[in-house]
Chain A
Amino acid sequence: MRFGVVIFPGSNCEQDVVHAVQHLGFEAGYIWHGDTDLSGYDAIVLPGGFSYGDYIRCGAVARFSPVMAEVIRFAEAGGPVIGICNGFQILAEAHLLPGALLRNVGLKFICKTVNLRAEESTCQWLDLPAGTVVRIPINHNEGNFICDDETLARLQGSGQIVLRYCEADGSRAEGGSAPNGALDDIAGICNERGNVFGLMPHPERVVDPLSGGTDGQHFFTAIARQLAEVG
């Protein structure tokens, strides 16, 4: 199992992802944003950071990187792709996932560990039973997910909502549990096929127990199991 981690200028979580998957015993390699060869990788990770400085809409420049045309091809062929934080923003800008990520409601950057509830979904990157609560840090200024009503109904109806912000007991607070104001408390969504997954929280930060937990391991082990079954 070999993860390919894309580096855009301004990415800053690529080394964390590589450390996380290596900690779990998988292989990893870096893919420069100017490269267009994804051969040799079983799954692609778009890591967090500030691609191209994110001085205009987050991810709006990165989607035009040479590597993204290949990532889109890889995803359309069913290859597993995960976008974490800035990676999620890039997937949304590239239309591999619906919706958009607006500025947090409080207009402040938020770095803290939050409770997340696994939902019943088609996502290949998570195989936890629905309702399981995991604790994973978020770290963003633009994580306020939004989409139109029709898209929301489709996400809800076809099992594309993968993770929701929630309270410690898994319930959702009246008025929302999302610290960033995200619609329907959405923290992570996948495409219909379930191979492309975008989430604002940083699972790679809670893989090695030294940095505060192990709840992030599920995502990387789930996709590895999924690929092993298919392969």
Chain B
Amino acid sequence: MATPETLDPKLAPQLAVELGLKLDEYEKVVGILGRTPSVTELYMYSLMWSEHCSYKHSRKALKMFPTTGEHVLQGPGENAGVISVGDGWAVAFKMESHNHPSAIEPYQGAATGIGGIIRDIFTMGARPIASLDSLRFGTLEKPRQRYLFEGSVAGIGGYGNCLGVPTVGGEVYFEEAYEGNCLINAMAVGLMREENLTRAVAAGPGNLVLLIGSTTGRDGIGGASTLASQEFDEKAEDKRPSVQVGDPFEEKLLIEACLELLDAKLLVGLGDLGAAGLTSSASEMASRGGVGLDIDVTKIPAREEAMKPFEYMVSESQERMLAIVTPADLEAAQAVCTKWGLRSTVIGTVTDTGRFVVREGEAVVADMPAATLAHDAPIYDPAKERPAYLDEVQAFDPMKQLEHPEGVEALSATLLKVLASPNICSRRWIWEQYDHQVMVNTAVLPGSDAAVLRIGDTGRGEVSGRGIAVSTDCNGRYCYLDPYTGSQIAFVEAARNVACSGGRAAAITDCLNFGNPEKPEVFWTFYESIRGLADACTAFGVPVISGNVSFYNESFGQPIYPTPTVGLVGLLDHVTDHCTMDFKDDGDVVVLLGKTKAELGGSEYLNLAHNKVAGRPPKVDLPGEKLLAELVVTAIRTGIVRSAHDCSEGGLGVALAECCIAGGVGARVDPDSTLPGVAALFSESQGRVVLTVSPDHYDALKQLAAAHGTACEKIGSVGGDRLVIGGLVDLPVEQLREAYEPTLERLVHGGASS
């Protein structure tokens, strides 16, 4: 066997460190190879052993997650998780971050984030049917933040709209903590028949390695290591060349061609080229199949001249797929690619050696055991230490230590202010830039609690009566104040959103955004968040089937709020049994399920009225939340529920206002009068839902609630054109709308916040 030209043993460690490896990691590479690595090998190891690709700091903690369950067909470890949704249908879904590229170049960063997560979905054999985006920026008073926000939204729309995949939901928050490091978390959902589930596995020595799609260039080199696995500092702008540029048209063709190839059973395996490019997809496919690969970089169609072998191997040029085909099927497979106007090139073969060999023509430039790239990265057990700031923020008691507005006039004005908050206000400005209806399966459009989609392949005339409800949630502020509780709130809020739309929680994906895990205080917040989320999943019997960890979200040494975003998918046996939040008819009874407590810690009210992020976040009662979700879904299925809306950020005042605005109708309510006005209106107590039923059905709801051990109180009725909350608020619905609707557009154009 030919040995590649190795680096100078004296200079190699220095290059290793420049590429992001630690010295002991470099020594481990030397140990595996039994010699000094070549430059190509060193690049390949540095990427595959980067935090982004290897999860070396998070892997142990992630073991706390439950990953199995009745619906699970594919758990973590593949490009996406897959659950069965009934009648032979399955959905694949996953969420992933594209934070650092977007912080440098928002349009392309966000666009290629969509491209990457969509490829993960169709790699599984599923047709992408929906995407959702969870976004975090600094406050919009800063021009740079407006640029990032507007650019990211345009990039998500520009890419997703072209693909014909509806963008059906998501969330956005604006907090100073994200100013130097915005978050772009993209979730995609795909649909397939169960029998078409495909895994990214290379198999069959003698089979051919076929590269499909775009040419390969120097774009995105080192994206996983130098961009995704390091903090930002004043040199961030220099990293712009590490951001890739997306071509959604090419991706659309790839979706169609790959699904056609899989449908015709022309592929042995299929993988996408994402972070760490060819190195990552090829080594992972080889190690899953226990085989070797032999690749010649001179066969790879290049978009630039004089590219070096390592550049081919680590390029993150977008819109490329790697397929394994038998020699017998090659011609037919290439014909499908040609039909869709796509390049397809044989760049190597599958071998039985277990080694990943890279050649440049005749010369071997890298030769290593394939599995060591994907699996032998060192696993760390980082030190953790409870951050000192927690004692101070948690000791703060918002009810006792602050003066609060009282009386109808002051509280009405405060409600208008909270409704107009960038973190609460209407997201219409965003979702009207996204095609949210293509595929004609979107039964509940953006703007309600969760998106509801019909399960079916309408283009083939295969429409089922089933549905799914999808929501992404995470309030980083709660996680900052208490990571264990905060991550549970992310989960239960997603579960309530899905329940209010008629879905029974089935599985989640997550995108865990944190600072530098090598700092003990940061790692503690990570560990506690995982523990909290794992406990919530276990209590609900809902597994984690896929996910992504994004560390090093810091700028100038300051970490973001811990942000473990949850993407929850729920099932509807009958898609028509869905519900929306808008109040419907005069006379409908307004019901509050659950109890309001005086919990203003971390609330939007506290932030807006007192400019404070402090206190303890609301308490979570997991068994109570599970019963509440079951109650809401059951009530919706019996057909008695006219509207349902999760009561969370902004409190009951905001929830009622949103129901009125959406329905274009008022309401008169008299909630619990034992609480101070601000608590009654703005407390963010968990475990609450605002429902309406016709008066005839109230008793039935009350009985159902009793059977689920859930508090159920009739608090008023729908009607008129004002929202009147007894002794606290009296406002015309039109005025609520004027506060709620135009905020984002005004702020994007540089207007002042109200």
Contacts and interface: CB of A to CB of B under 8 A. Distances in A.
Interface string A1-26: 00000000110111110111010000
A135 interface: no
Interface residues of B, number: 38
B248 A50 contact: yes
A9 B253 CA distance: 7
A18 B460 CA distance: 8
Interface stretch (B55-63, B157-165, B500-508): B157-165
B715 interface: no
A93 interface: no
Interface stretch (A70-78, A107-115, A147-155, A184-192): A107-115
Residue among B162, B252, B437, B575 with max Cβ neighbours from chain A (10 Å): B437
Interface stretch (B174-182, B282-290, B441-449): B441-449
Given A55-B249, A139-B438, A210-B575, A9 B341 contact: yes
A154 to B, nearest CB: 33
B459 A15 contact: yes
B434 interface: yes
B461 A108 contact: no
A54 B432 CA distance: 20
Residue among B249, B431, B434 with max Cβ neighbours from chain A (10 Å): B249
Nearest to A141: B161
A208 to B, nearest CB: 6
A116 B523 CA distance: 56
Given A16-B458, A19-B463, A210-B454, A112 B432 contact: yes
Nearest to B163: A12
Nearest to B340: A9
Contacts of B162: 10, 12, 50, 53-54
Contacts of B598: none
Contact of A50 (B249, B431, B436, B463): B249
Interface in A14-59: 14-16, 18-20, 22, 48-50, 52-55
B460 to A, nearest CB: 8
Contacts of A119: none
Interface in B298-323: none
Interface string A88-106: 0000000000000000000
B30 interface: no
Nearest to B436: A111
A129 interface: no
Contacts of B442: 211-212
A87 interface: no
Given A9-B340, A10-B249, A205 B440 contact: yes
A137 interface: yes
Given A9-B340, A12-B164, A108 B433 contact: yes
Nearest to B250: A53
Interface residues of A, number: 34
Contacts of A211: 437, 440-443
Residue among A14, A19, A49, A110 with max Cβ neighbours from chain B (10 Å): A19
Contact of B437 (A55, A141, A205): A205
B440 A208 contact: yes
Given A9-B340, A15-B459, A110 B249 contact: no
A110 B440 CA distance: 17
A19 B461 contact: yes
B435 interface: yes
Nearest to B429: A108
B433 A15 contact: no
Interface string B408-436: 00000000000000000000000111111
A204 B157 CA distance: 21
A165 to B, nearest CB: 15
Contacts of B341: 9
B437 A19 contact: no
Contacts of A10: 162, 249, 252-253
A139 B437 CA distance: 9
Contacts of B463: 19
B576 interface: yes
B439 interface: yes
Contacts of A111: 161, 431-437
Contacts of B573: none
Contacts of B461: 18-19, 22
Contacts of A109: 154, 157-158, 161, 433-435
Contacts of B576: 210
Nearest to B457: A15
Contact of A15 (B163, B431, B437, B439): B439
Given A12-B438, A16-B438, A211-B441, A110 B432 contact: yes
Given A9-B253, A52-B249, A137 B440 contact: no
A210 B436 CA distance: 14
A19 B340 contact: no
Nearest to A13: B438
Contacts of A137: 437
B171 interface: no
A5 to B, nearest CB: 10
B27 interface: no
Contacts of A15: 439, 457-460
Contacts of A212: 437, 442, 445
B247 interface: yes
Given A108-B433, A137-B437, A204-B440, A14 B249 contact: no
19 contacts: A9-B252, A10-B252, A15-B458, A16-B439, A16-B458, A18-B461, A19-B458, A53-B162, A53-B250, A109-B154, A111-B431, A111-B437, A112-B432, A210-B440, A210-B441, A210-B576, A211-B440, A211-B442, A212-B445
Given A109-B433, A212-B437, A212-B442, 17 more contacts: A12-B164, A12-B438, A15-B460, A16-B438, A18-B458, A50-B248, A53-B248, A108-B432, A108-B433, A110-B432, A111-B432, A139-B435, A141-B161, A204-B440, A207-B440, A211-B441, A211-B442
| 10 closest residue pairs by CB, A with B | A12-B164, A15-B459, A53-B249, A19-B458, A50-B162, A211-B440, A16-B440, A109-B433, A109-B157, A112-B432
